[in-house]
Amino acid sequence: MSSTPNKQAGYPRLVADIGGTNARFALETAPRVIEKTAVLPCKDYDTVTDAVRAYLNQSGATAVRHAAFAIANPILGDWVQMTNHHWAFSIETTRQTLGLDTLILLNDFTAQALAVTQTSSKDLMQVGGQEPVEFAPKAVIGPGTGLGVSGLVHSPAGWVALAGEGGHTSFPPFDDMEVLIWQYAKNKYGHVSAERFLSGAGLSLVYEALAAKQKAKPAKLMPSEITEKALSGTSPLCRQTLDIFCAMLGTVTSNLALTLGARGGVYLCGGIIPRVLEYFKTSPFRSRFENKGRFEAYLAAIPVYVVLSEFPGISGAAAALDNHLRNV
């Protein structure tokens, strides 16, 4: 986080959601008014500054003084080294280079959590459960390029988003099949985090492990190819991969819900689930989510929502920037 004193918290403001694959930029031209959204592939730019300048040139934005970037990374100080991309930079140097008065960075899933509090019901699809308990904690999790994890707790000042790196907790195998898949990944990587499986690359890893178990030589399939073959019925192995992926997600999500006491609901973000939405409704996810022995009834009551809004990270970054400028 970096800023210089400025009482005029004006518009337009630059907001961004930067993942390992794409950087999404937009301008907030008035409170909660997001315009000129653009998606730039991270690989096309040597630095984050290059990407920002390309967007500002493309959008024709002028007099931007304040910016917030949600990024797929922990924010531990001034220096940022992305986990799933090669960009590395100083927040303060970037602020000065771009000529900004304010530049704040926050974890992308902290931004996703903030966005949940502003998401319209039309952008949510419920998968099981009952009604959320008002002001109870909410869990936010989403498989995409990586696995993002956050949560929301209510305070007298409103909803507070939690910044953590829950995607890198150790993965818990549920049954014998998942133990075999876990062993395959352990032999390949050592530590096996939840993100190893619950991400785009993780979908491919599950497929690879299942193929190895069948002593088949697997084709190198992209995550999108696996889901396409699974849903079209052209590959039983791909269908099994997707079933196991969703079951694994159910286990990890229910662990998060129990840890947070998330009776306010669980919100699934990220790019993978919306692509398989109709399948997901009847996938193994919900039955695995509730499969917690004595706490089955507790989890059965918790609603799970798939977040369908197009750029929630941008909305969350805008909310974080507004909170920051109000408190400067």
Annotated binding residues for ATP, written as ranges, equal 16-21
Alpha helices in 60-171 (DSSP H): 91-98, 108-116
The string of DSSP letters for 266-294 reads EEE-SSSGGGGHHHHHTSTHHHHHH--GG
Displacement of CA 291 from its chain's centroid (Å)? 24
* CA pair distance 185, 306, nearest whole angstrom: 28
* CA pair distance 168, 30, nearest whole angstrom: 37
**Amino acid identity at 303:** P
Annotated binding site: 16-21
**239-252 in b/e burial notation, b at 16+ Cβ within 10 A?**
bbbbbbbbbbbbbb
- Degrees to nearest 5, angle at CA 237 with 235 and 242: 100
Task: Provide φ and ψ at 203, rounded to 5°.
Answer: -60, -45
| Tokens representing residue 203 in the block | 């979908």
Please name the helix (run of DSSP H) or strand (run of DSSP E) that holds residue 28, with its range, or none.
Answer: strand 22-30
**Amino acid identity at 157:** A
Q: Secondary structure of 76-89 in the HEC alphabet?
A: CCCEEECCCCCCEE
Q: Is the dihedral of CA 299, 275, 114, 22 positive or negative?
A: positive
Q: Is the dihedral of CA 59, 61, 18, 85 positive or negative?
A: positive
Burial class (CB in 10 A: 0-12, 13-18, 19+), 145: buried
